[in-house]
Structure 1
Amino acid sequence: MARRARTPNTALAALMRAGGIGNAQLARKVNVVGAELGVTLHYDKTSVSHWLNGSVPRAEAQPAVAEALSRLLDRPVTSAEAGLSGRPEPVASPDVVAGVMDLGRADMDPSRRAVLGAGLYSAALAVPAFEDVSGRTETASAGRTVRIGMGEVETVTTMTEKIADILDSLGGGHARPMAAAFLVNTVGPYLRAGGTEAAQRAMRAAASDLVYLTGWMAMYEREHGLGQRYYVKALKLAGAAEDHVTYCRTLRGMALQASNLGYGPKALELADSAADAAPAAGPRLVAFLRGQQAHGAAMVKDRRQAFTRLRETEEALSRADGHNDHIGGYDRCAYEFHVSHVLWELGDRGESIKALRRSNRHRPDGERQGRVHATGLLATRLMEMRHVEEACGEWSRFLDDYAGISSARGDEHFATLRSGLRPYATLPLVRELSGRAQEVARLKAA
C-alpha cells in the first residue's frame, strides 16, 4: 500500500519567513520553552524541517512550539495558526464569569491542579486595555431568582481579607485552595445574581480583588501560566466593574511576574501600562506603580529612568495617608524592596543589601510568607557575594519562618540554602546550619 504524502506546513513556513526565524533558532527556543513547561525536548534544525514538510510535533510539545513562535514574533501565536494541530483549540467562553468559574473549579480539584499548574506563561500575551473591558460583562440575566445587596459584597470583601491573612501567615499552599473554592461556591453565584446596578458593579469589583489575589498566590507558588490566566480574568472583572484601582494593581502584578521570570522589557511595558491606566490615582497607588516601573527600568539598564521612578515613588509614598490597602497595598517595606531590586540590577550590590535589610526591618510581624521570601533572597545574595557568615545568620532566620509555612517559593529558597552550603561544608557554622536544615526537611516530609 502506497504511503500518503505529507502536506507541507505552509502556515508554519509563512510565520518563520515573516519573522526571519531559522530552523535551528526555532528548535532552540522550543527546547527552552519546553523546559519551562516541564517537558524535556531535544529538537534540532532537522526536526523543524520535518515540521515544515508536514510532520506534527507530539501533543505535549505543541504548546511549547506555539509559545516559542509567540516569543520570536513578539505576538500571540496559536498551535492552529502555526498548522501544528488538526484538532480545534478550545475557545474561551465569552462570559467572564463562566471563565472564572471554570478556572476556579479546576484549581480546587486536586486531580487537576498538577495539570492546570503546568500551564505555560506567555510573554507575548495580549493584555486587554481598560477601555476594551470597561463596563462589559456577558452574564445572562434571564431566570435569576437570587438577589444580592451590599451585604453580600461585604461578605466577599471580608473573606478576601481573611484569605490574604492566611496567605501571609501560613502560605499560598494553604490559602489558594480556599480561594478557589470560595470563588466557585459563593462568588460565582453572586456574580450571576440579580440586584441593583450599584450592587452588581460592587460585586464585580470585590470579585476582581479576590481573583487578583488568587493569581498572585499562583504566581507565588511558581505556577506562572495559571497565575497569568487568573490575572487576565481579574482585568476583565475589574473592567466590568469600572474599577480602575484593581485593574491597575493587576497589571502591576503581571509586571512583577514578568520581572520574576526575567522578562525585563515586558516587565517595564506592563508597569508603564499600569501607570498610564491610572492618571488620577491616589498617592499610595502611584507609589505602588512607580516602584514597579523603577524595577522594570533597572532590568533594561535604564539607570536614569530607574532612579527618577524611585524618587517619584518615595515622594508619592510620603503623601499617602495612614491607611494601607489590605490587598495589594504599598508601604515602606515594599519601597525599600524595590530600591534593593533596582540597585541589584544596576550592579550596586552592597547598597542593595542595605536596602533589603531596611525592607525587612519595616515588614509587619504577621507577614511570614513575605518574610520567608525576603530573608531567603537576602541570604542568597549574601552567599553570592561570599559573605558566608552573614548569609548563615539570615538562613537561620529563614528557617525560623519556613518550618511553619507552605510556600513553593520558600521551597525554592530552601533548595538554594542546601546547595549553597555544600562548598563550605567544613566550616563549623555551616555544619550546624546544615544539621538544622536536615531536621526541618525531615519535619516537612513527615
Structure 2
Amino acid sequence: MERRPNSRLRALLAEAGWSNEQCARAVNSVGAEIGLALRYDRTSVAHWLSGTQPRPPVPHLVAETFSRRLGRVMTPVAAGFARSGAPAAGLPGPRTPPAPAVRTLGALTGRDADPVERAALAGEPYRALGAPPPWSDGGDPDRRSAGRRGLARVGGAEVDLLRGAVRHFAAAMDVHGGGHARPALAHYLADTATTWLHAPGDDRAHRQLGTQSAYLVFILARMHSDMGCHGIAQRYLHLALDLAREVQDRVAWAITLRAMAAQALHLEHRRTALRYAQAAVEALPEHVGDAVRAFALAQSAVAHAAVGDRDAALAALHRAEEHGRRAGVGDPFGDYPSGALSFQKAEVHRELGDLRAAARALHRSTQERPAHDRRGLALTLARRAELLLRSGRIAEACEVWHQFLEAGGGLRSHSVVTAVRTMRGNLEPLSRHPSVRALLDRERSLG
C-alpha cells in the first residue's frame, strides 16, 4: 500500500507550535502515565509525518497529547492515523453518550478477565480533559430486566455476598497489592455481579446490588492504578460513577469523584484534581457519616495545597481532622482509618513546603496503619524516607528505607516498584555513604 504524508499531523504540529522533538517528548510523557517507557524522538515524529502508522496504543496517545495541548478532544483519525484500533471495545469515547452501566460493566470486565484483552486495555491513555460530571436525580428506570427468564430472583442473600466480596477484594489490595487479584475481580464482576444486576428482584435489592457493584468497580480501578494502568483505571471510575447514578447513591458517587481527584493529582494534573476534589465534597449528602466526609475533605485539602492555596488547604484539613476523630473503622467504604488521614495530612504539609510537619505526620501514619495494610505502610515509609533525605538526614532515611523494603517484600504493586526505583535514583549519587551502600547492597540482593 502506498504511504502518504500525514498532512493532518503536520497541521496539528503547526497549530500546537511544537517541533518534532517537543511532540515526541509529550507523547512519551502521556505514555509514562500508563506505565509505558517510550523513547520516541524527532525522527519518530518525522516517520509519522511521512505516513508511517505506529502500533496501538500510540495513535491514541498522540491524540491525547494534542487534546491536552489544544484544549479540545482529538481522535487518532483527526491526527491522521486511520488504522489505530479501538482503545477499549464496549467503552464510550470522550463525546459518546455512555451505554447503560450494567451492559458496559459486562463488556469491559469480560475483556479484562482475558489476559490478552487485558494487555490491550492497559494501553488506554489517561484523558486529562473534561470536568466532573453533574449529578442527576432519577436514575435509570431500565437499569434491570426484571422479567428476564432463566434467572433466579435476587434479594438480601445476594446483597450480603457482594458486600463480602467488597471486603475481600479491598483487603486483598491492601495485603498483596493491585496486581494480585485483578483477574479474579474482573471475572467476579463479569459473571456474578452482572448476572445478578440483570436478574428479577425488588427495587431495594437492585439498588443495593448496584451500590456494591460500584464499590467493586472502584476497587478494580484502584488495582489498575496501582499497577500503573491509569487510562483503564479512569474508565472504571467513570463506570463506577454511572452505576452510582443509576441507583441514586450520592455517597458512592462522591467517593468515586474523590478517587478521580487523587488519580489526577498523582499524574500532576493539579487543577483537574482540585475540580474533582471540590465536586466530591459538594456531592456529599447532608446525612453522610463523619468518615466519608473526612475522606472527601482530606483529598480537598491536598488538592488545594497542590495549587498553592494554603488557607483553603489548612481549613479543609482542619475540618477533615474534626470529622476523622469521630470516624470508625472496619468498613472499607464507610470508615476512614486514622493512618490514611495522617498520610493525607503529610501530603498537605509536603505540598505547602513544611517538610518537618510532613515527616511527623508520616511517622504517625506508619504507627496507625493496621497490620494488614502492607501496601499502605510500604508507600508511607517510602514517602517518609524521601522527606528525611531531602532534609539531609541520610542515615535516618536509610533506616526507614530498610523498613520499606521489609514491608514491600512480595507485593505485586507498580507503585511499590516505582518507589524502589525512586529510592535507588536518590541514593546512587550518595553511594559512598556507609548507610547508603548497605541499603543499596540489600536492595540488589533482594532483586
TM-score by shorter chain over 0.5: yes
Are the aligned partners of 2:292 and 2:336 in contact in 1 as well (CA < 8 Å)?
yes
Q: List aligned pairs for 1:317-336, cutoff 5 A.
A: 317-318=324-325, 320-323=326-329, 325-327=331-333, 329-336=335-342
Once the two structures are TM-superposed, the CA of residue 237 in structure 1 deviates from its matched residue by 0.6
SS at 2:76's partner residue?
coil
User: Structure 2: which amino acid aligns with 1:29?
Assistant: A
CA change 1:12–1:296 in 2 (3 A) is: farther
CA shift in 2, pair 1:275/1:76, >3 Å: farther
1:228–1:254 Cα contact (<8 Å) kept: yes
Secondary structure of residue in 2 paired with 1:314: helix
Q: CA 1:411–1:59 in 2, change beyond 3 Å: closer, same or farther?
A: closer
More helix by share: 1
- Greater CA drift, 112-121 or 130-139: 130-139
Which residue of structure 2 lines up, in the alignment, with residue 68 of structure 1?
65
Letter in 2 for 1:290: L
Select which of 143, 154, 163 maps to 1:148.
154
Other-structure match for 2:299: 292
Amino acid at match of 1:85: A
Q: What residue number does 1:21 align with?
A: 16
Kept after mapping to 1: 8 A contact 2:305/2:351: yes
Shift of 1:289: 0.9
Identity of aligned residues (%): 32
Aligned CA distance change for structure 1 residues 44 and 306 (closer, same or farther; 3 Å): farther
Show structure 2 runs of 5+ residues with no match: 93-98
Instruction: Specify whether residues 440 and 179 from structure 1 end up closer, same or farther in structure 2 by C-alpha distance, changes over 3 A only.
Output: same
Instruction: Find the counterpart in structure 2 of residue 58 from structure 1.
Output: 54
- 1:365 is aligned to 2:371: yes
The residue correspondences of 1:123-162 to structure 2 (distance < 5 A) are 123-125=128-130, 127-131=132-136, 134-135=139-140, 138=143, 140=145, 143-146=148-151, 147-162=153-168
| Match status 1:104 vs 2:109 | yes
* Structure 1 segment 93-242 matched on structure 2, within 5 A: 94-125=99-130, 127-131=132-136, 134-135=139-140, 138=143, 140=145, 143-146=148-151, 147-242=153-248
Runs of 4+ in 1 over 6 A off after TM superposition: 3-7
Matches of 2:138 and 2:42, distance apart in 1: 40
Aligned to 1:444: none
- Secondary structure at 2:305's aligned position in 1? helix
Q: How does 1:255-270 map to 2 (within 5 A)?
A: 255-270=261-276
8 Å contact from structure 1 (residues 65, 79) kept in 2: yes
- Correspondence list, 1:243-282, <5 A: 243-280=249-286, 281-282=288-289
SS of corresponding position for 1:173:
coil
CA separation of 1:257 and 1:222: change in aligned 2, threshold 3 A: same
Give the AA of the match of 1:294. Answer: A
User: Which moves more between the two structures, 424-433 or 392-401?
Assistant: 424-433
Cα distance in 2 between the residues matched to 1:407 and 1:321: 28
Which among 415, 420, 444 is matched to residue 414 of structure 1? 420
Say whether the 8 Å CA contact 2:121–2:232 is kept in structure 1. Answer: yes
| Contact 1:27/1:48 (8 A) holds in 2 | no
Q: Which residue identity is paired with 2:331?
A: D
How far apart are 1:250 and its partner, in Å? 0.7
Shift of 1:410: 1.4
2:106·2:189 contact (CA, 8 Å) conserved in 1? yes
Change (3 A) 1:136 1:22: farther
Q: Which moved more, 1:148-157 or 1:399-408?
A: 399-408
Q: Which of 311, 314, 317 is the aligned partner of 1:310?
A: 317
* Distance of 1:374 and 1:328 partners within structure 2: 22
Q: 1:48 to 1:71 in 2, by over 3 A?
A: farther
C-alpha deviation, 1:133, in angstroms: 8.3
Q: Call closer, same or farther: CA 1:172–1:328 in 2, change over 3 Å.
A: farther
Using the TM superposition, give the Cα deviation of residue 255 of structure 1 relative to its aligned residue in structure 2, in angstroms: 0.6
Rate the CA distance shift 1:28–1:429 in 2: closer, same or farther, 3 A: closer
Q: Is the 8 A contact 1:35 1:41 kept in 2?
A: no
TM-score using structure 2 length: 0.87
Query: What TM-score do you get using the length of structure 1 for normalisation?
Result: 0.87
User: For 2:432, which of 426, 430, 433 is the aligned residue?
Assistant: 426
1:164-221 deviation per Cα after TM superposition (whole angstroms, max 9, x unaligned):
1222222222122221121122111111111111111111111001001110111122
Secondary structure in 2 aligned to 1:151?
Answer: helix
Distance 2:285 2:293 in 1: 9
Cα separation, 1, equivalents of 2:138 and 2:273: 22
DSSP 3-state at the match of 1:172: coil
- Counterpart contact for 2:329–2:336, Cα < 8 Å: no
Counterpart contact for 1:104–1:180, Cα < 8 Å: yes
> Is the CA contact (8 Å cut-off) linking 1:76 and 1:126 kept in structure 2?
no
Quote the Cα distance in structure 2 between the aligned partners of 1:248 and 1:438. Answer: 43
Q: Distance in 2 between matches of 1:402 and 1:26?
A: 37
- Deviations for 1:288-334, whole angstroms, at most 9, x for unmatched residues? 1111111111111111111111112122223x343553237423222
Consecutive unaligned residues in structure 1, runs of 5 or more: 442-446
Q: Does the residue aligned with 2:136 lie in a helix, a strand or coil?
A: helix
Shift of 1:136: 5.9
Counterpart contact for 1:67–1:77, Cα < 8 Å: yes
Partner residue, 2:91: 92
Question: What CA distance in whole angstroms lies between the structure 1 residues aligned with 2:45 and 2:314?
Answer: 47
Contact 1:75 1:126 in 2 (8 A): no
How far did 1:141 drift?
A: 5.1
Q: CA deviation at 1:273?
A: 1.0
Check whether the contact 2:264–2:272 (CA below 8 A) recurs between aligned residues.
yes
**Inter-partner Cα distance in structure 1 for 2:259 and 2:4:** 49
2:339 alignment partner AA: C
